[in-house]
Structures are given as structure tokens and as C-alpha cells.
Amino acid sequence: MSERKVSLYERLEKYPYLRSRFESIMDIVENTSASVDKAEQLLIDEMRQLGKEALHDWAAGKERQKVKELLDNKDDIKGHSKKKFPGTPPSEK
């Protein structure tokens, strides 16, 4: 039973921000009127933004995964409760 390789387009459908960023990169590449220096700077900026968004999404996915794990094992979690003992009263002078 061989797994069907998922196409890049199908994978990008799950991540619209990546698709948008790749489209912006392709627009820069296809723009022949831009100077080399301007195109280079635009591509660098797009790639940096792509990296930031991808890492942010990756971290958010890891956080969701961890929360799900913790909720699945919620018997091990002690919830926060208000402190009932106000502390030792001050001694009289």
C-alpha cells in the first residue's frame, strides 16, 4: 500500500499565509522592470516575513498539541484555586 504524494498546491491550501507569501515572491520574480538591487531587497524582506510566519504557525501548532496532551491527561493537573489561609496575623506590640 503506497501513500499518494501530496502536491505542493494541496499542501499550501492548508496554509493560506504561506500561499500568499509564495505568490508575493513569484510576483517579485516575474517583475522584470525592477532593478536587481530592489528585487533582491524585496525578496529578502519576503523571505524574512515567510520565516517569521512559518515559525509562528509552527509554535502555535506545538502549543495546541501540548494543550491537547495536557487536557487528555487532566487527572494529573491540579487547577488553580484561591488561597484560603490569609497568613499569620501580625503579633500585638
pLDDT tens digits, 41-60: 999 999 999 999 999 999 99
Burial class (CB in 10 A: 0-12, 13-18, 19+), 43: middle
Q: If we measure between CA atoms, which residue out of 1, 15, 3 comes closest to residue 54?
A: 15
pTM, 2 dp = 0.63
Residue with cell 487527572: 75
Q: If we measure between CA atoms, which residue out of 8, 28, 3 comes closest to residue 18?
A: 8
pLDDT of residue 2: 52
